[in-house]
Chains A and B, each alone.
Chain A
Amino acid sequence: MSKYLFFIKNGFKENFIYRTNSYLMILGSLVGLLITVNIWQALYINKTSVSGITLADMIITVILNSIILSFTNSNIAEDLANRVTDGSISTDLIKPFNLKWSMFSTQLGANIFKFIFSSFPILIIAIIFLDFRLPKDNRYMVVFILSFCNSILLSYILNYIIGLWAFWLKKASYPRWFLDASFKLFGGSVVPLWFYPDALYSISYMLPFRFIFFEPIKIYLMKCDLNEAIHILIMQLFWILVLFALERIIWSRAQKIITVFGG
């Protein structure tokens, strides 16, 4: 366990080398917040609520999206794909720790860094100026935090699976583009699913991406009852299990390819 803590610390430190960049990152994320808030304010002019969602709800959604993004935005796919294409994965496999979990821990460290230097300042500004509030019912807060942890794990495992493609494609070709696009289209990382047209909503409903962004936020905003919130947690765990199983299958196939290449 302690070795993985070491990876977390390392992931954090790696990002903190360039101090000036870290401070510029704070500035950049505040600019980003200003833009997004302005957009939703402009959209809500002359409207009090759309699909039952008010501007105040939307502002909270924007802040939460940015926090979730800072924890789920990861390099795991690219990193893994690079290790596969440059062959360094062969030495990674004989190291005395699990490759997957070491990558996850390093990424968590990097994401904690991202949180501190991008969404934490946003959170502070939002509490002071934008009336950001906690859910009125503490039980929802507890369920939200649990679902948030699940969504981080869910995003990491998705990343890992996408990274494994490199075994077949032989190239680390921008795996992140697919994930970012899926998060936007099916996860609600830009526009929440409430505002989706029916067709896009039904596709998103079948996919795991909405459990990373939209569903945890729905719990936070108390737009569902507690039973439904628990149901969301169960569905998240279901998807995590399915994806881990899928990863095992892909991995066992990939191992065969490694032996073909080795030598």
Chain B
Amino acid sequence: MLDYIKLYLDFSKIKLKTQIESRLSFFILIICKIVGFGATGIMLWVMVDKFDFIGEWNPYEILLLFSFNMITYAIAGCFFYDFFVQLPKRIRTGELDEVLIKPLNPTTYLICRGVSAGYLGNVTVGLIAFFISVANLHIIFSLKDILMLILLIFGSSLIQCSVFSFSYTPSFWLISNNGVRNIIGDLKSFSDYPIAIYNKVIQFLLTFMFPFGFISFYPSQYFLNKSDGAFFNTSFPILTILVGLTLAFAGYKFWIFGLSHYQSTGN
């Protein structure tokens, strides 16, 4: 296990170095992401601010929701973006064949190679939104709250990781996984807003079927002392961690299942 960690760190060091090797393009990438996601955040705030509330949520509470989404996506992306997003290309070009004959477990190898520094931009936007929100809402974090924050971000990041797996693993079977990826992305965008504003059927789906509600809505409720939503339960914030672990496990099994059905394009 310790060997793996050392391996991971070594690989990451090389990967990160190559990423920032060309300073200018790395800088532009980060700026692009800050501008892109910053614009989304600003528009979200502008919209809710003009109307005072969406559901029971005020503009700064929406910012907290947004920052949760942003930060956990960045954490998941930092470790798994490259792993999954490159998969269709690796299958098409036969690069995956190369990976399979390496003297190392392919999953471990790909995870080791997959770390990405490009999420610095997302994290920056997420943190700015978080601090603006916390400062304006005068939220005071006790020791327990800080612990909960870490656990909830962990759980929610695991959900985001599993979304990557479910979006990209189908490319083992499909020539183009864009359709599947987009539809999952569309469903996930429900969780950009407090899910209490949707009708009960959608809320049910987002809580029990496609638990995107646990990415940001239920965790934010904990810090805002909110109890809106048709299926609200006080155990939901804690449940986030369980949902995260379960989905991450399912996502992992799905990936392994896909990998075992891999047929080389043959070249």
**Residues in A lying within 8 Å of B, measured CB to CB:** 18, 20-25, 27-29, 31-32, 34-35, 38-39, 41-44, 47, 50-51, 169-171, 173-174, 177-178, 180-182, 184-185, 190-191, 195-197, 200
Q: Are A21 and B39 in contact (CB under 8 A)?
A: no
Q: Are A39 and B39 in contact (CB under 8 A)?
A: no
A63 to B: closest C-beta gap in Å: 17
Q: Are A185 and B182 in contact (CB under 8 A)?
A: no
Kindly state whether residue B25 has any CB partner on chain A within 8 Å: yes
A-B CB contact pairs (8 Å), 11 listed: A20-B174, A21-B176, A22-B179, A39-B197, A43-B47, A51-B50, A174-B28, A174-B33, A181-B38, A195-B46, A197-B49
Q: Are B29 and A18 in contact (CB under 8 A)?
A: no
Stretch of B7-15, B92-100, B151-159, B184-192 with 4 or more beta carbons under 8 angstroms from chain A? B184-192
Residues of A within 8 A of B35 (CB): 177-178, 181
B197 to A: closest C-beta gap in Å: 4
A184 to B: closest C-beta gap in Å: 5
Q: Are A173 and B32 in contact (CB under 8 A)?
A: yes
Q: How far is the CA of A42 from the CA of B186 in the complex (A)?
A: 19
Q: Are A195 and B178 in contact (CB under 8 A)?
A: no
Residues of A within 8 A of B39 (CB): 180-182, 184-185
CB-contacts of B32-49 with A (<8 A): 32-33, 35-36, 38-40, 42-43, 46-49
Q: How far is the CA of A18 from the CA of B181 in the complex (A)?
A: 14
Task: Mark interface residues in B31-70 (1 if CB within 8 Å of A CB, else 0).
Answer: 0110110111011001111110111000000000000000
Residues of A within 8 A of B178 (CB): 18, 21
CB within 8 A of A196: which of B46, B193, B198? B46
Q: Are A35 and B182 in contact (CB under 8 A)?
A: no
Main secondary structure of the interface of B (DSSP, over half): helix
CB within 8 A of B46: which of A38, A39, A182, A197? A197
B226 to A: closest C-beta gap in Å: 15
Q: Are B183 and A200 in contact (CB under 8 A)?
A: no
Q: Are A177 and B36 in contact (CB under 8 A)?
A: yes
Q: How far is the CA of A76 from the CA of B202 in the complex (A)?
A: 37
Q: How many residues of B contact A (CB 8 A)?
A: 41
Known A24-B179, A32-B186, A35-B193: A169·B54 in contact at CB below 8 Å: no
Kindly report which residue of chain B lies nearest to residue A180, judged by CB atoms.
B36
Known A174-B32, A185-B43, A191-B43: A39·B179 in contact at CB below 8 Å: no
Kindly report which residue of chain B lies nearest to residue A183, judged by CB atoms.
B39
Q: Are B43 and A42 in contact (CB under 8 A)?
A: no
Q: How far is the CA of A32 from the CA of B192 in the complex (A)?
A: 12
A38-B198, A41-B197, A169-B24 known; 8 new pairs, CB 8 Å cut-off, are A27-B183, A27-B186, A28-B183, A32-B189, A35-B190, A38-B199, A44-B51, A181-B35
Kindly report which residue of chain A lies nearest to residue B57, judged by CB atoms.
A42
Q: Are B36 and A171 in contact (CB under 8 A)?
A: no
Q: How far is the CA of A180 from the CA of B46 in the complex (A)?
A: 17
Residues of A within 8 A of B202 (CB): 34, 38
Kindly state whether residue B91 has any CB partner on chain A within 8 Å: no
Kindly state whether residue B265 has any CB partner on chain A within 8 Å: no
Residues of A within 8 A of B186 (CB): 27-29, 31-32
- The 7 A-B pairs of least Cβ separation, nearest first, read A21-B179, A24-B179, A181-B39, A42-B197, A177-B32, A177-B36, A195-B50
Q: Are A35 and B36 in contact (CB under 8 A)?
A: no
Q: How far is the CA of A256 from the CA of B47 in the complex (A)?
A: 45
Q: Are B29 and A43 in contact (CB under 8 A)?
A: no
Kindly state whether residue B245 has any CB partner on chain A within 8 Å: no
Known A25-B182, A185-B39: A31·B187 in contact at CB below 8 Å: yes
Kindly report which residue of chain A lies nearest to residue B43, judged by CB atoms.
A190
Q: How far is the CA of A171 from the CA of B55 in the complex (A)?
A: 44
Kindly state whether residue B259 has any CB partner on chain A within 8 Å: no
Q: How far is the CA of A42 from the CA of B53 in the complex (A)?
A: 9
Q: Are A43 and B28 in contact (CB under 8 A)?
A: no
Kindly state whether residue B2 has any CB partner on chain A within 8 Å: no
Q: Are A24 and B183 in contact (CB under 8 A)?
A: yes
Residues of B within 8 A of A191 (CB): 43, 46-47, 50
Residues of A within 8 A of B174 (CB): 20
A262 to B: closest C-beta gap in Å: 22
Q: Are B190 and A173 in contact (CB under 8 A)?
A: no
Known A173-B28, A173-B29: A200·B180 in contact at CB below 8 Å: no
B38 to A: closest C-beta gap in Å: 7
Q: Are B36 and A200 in contact (CB under 8 A)?
A: no
Q: Are B47 and A190 in contact (CB under 8 A)?
A: yes
Residues of B within 8 A of A41 (CB): 197
